Amino acid sequence: MTNIIHFPLKEKRSIPMPKKRVFYIGYRYVGPMFCQDVQSIYLKRNGLIKGVRTWSLIRYGKYDENDCKEYSIELDRCEEYGLPDLLDEYDVGDQVTFDELRDMGWRGQIDYSATVFKLYSANVTSLIHKCYNNVIFPNFVKPLETGQFNGTDIMMESRDAQGTLKGKNCYAFTHYRNRYPLGHVWMNLHKLNTNEYTAVPVKPKETFTDEFYKRNFIKK
């Protein structure tokens, strides 16, 4: 007879907040093709304001050629939950891991939830338009049903929206004729198993936050 002894699980301790507040993240290329400079990017953990912490992406440089010293220059700022998207927007998201962010004091949530639409049958095709095939949907937007596609409007918007959003970041969006927030917007979303984005019409499940709107809205 075999006796199984169950040892108590060791309680995981929370990571203490580090005293250090500025961290080197990585680098990115800025400037026109063939004349690009390498820009080092740092992440700064700001203090709490009314219980909300913000983070800043900064670089060090001179304001003009006559300066004799370098300054800390803020490139952008976001609240805790928006940090992964901000890093991706500045092309440094792949240069730091979530564990490393935790060690820096980030306490945001990692949202792995998403919906992938694959069109396998005529029944599915009748409900979801083929433009959504293999598109990965975050949990804050949903596709339009086929019956919601007004042929003329969607066709007129499609080419312009795709041109407006081409080369922009994931979740970049635009809208037409004041349809937002009650109607649809055009948004860049990831496609399954690729690094590409595709601009598709989506319906926001709720009004975007001011920070999200400011960061991702592309004015035509």
- More confident: 51 or 109: 51
What pLDDT sits at residue 75? 92
Mean pLDDT of the region 79-84: 87
More confident residue, 97 or 10: 97
Rounded-to-integer distance, Cα 156 and Cα 153, Å: 5
The pLDDT, as a whole number, for residue 114 is 56
- Average pLDDT value for residue range 55-67: 86
User: What is the phi/psi pair of residue 151, to 5°?
Assistant: -45, -50
pLDDT of residue 54: 94
Q: What is the pLDDT of residue 74?
A: 93
CA atoms of 128 and 119, how far apart (whole Å): 8
Q: What is the mean pLDDT of the chain?
A: 80
Between these two residues, 195 and 163, which has the higher pLDDT value?
163
Q: If phi over 0 gives left and psi between -120 and 50 gives alpha, with beta otherwise, what is residue 134? A: left
Token pair for 79: 């609240």
Give the tokens for residue 203: 């319906």
| Amino acid (1-letter code) at residue 2 | T
Of 193, 166, 27, give the one whose Cα is nearest residue 94: 27
Per-residue pLDDT, averaged over 119-131, amounts to 55
pLDDT level of residue 124 (50, 70, 90 thresholds): very low
Q: How confident is the model at residue 97 (pLDDT cuts 50, 70, 90)?
A: confident
pLDDT tens digits, one per residue of 12-36 = 566 688 899 999 998 888 777 667 7
Token pair listed for 205: 């499940």
Which range, 46-60, 81-95, 103-117, is most confident? 46-60
The tens digit of pLDDT for each residue in 128-180 reads: 677 888 888 888 888 887 666 655 677 788 889 999 999 898 899 999 877 78
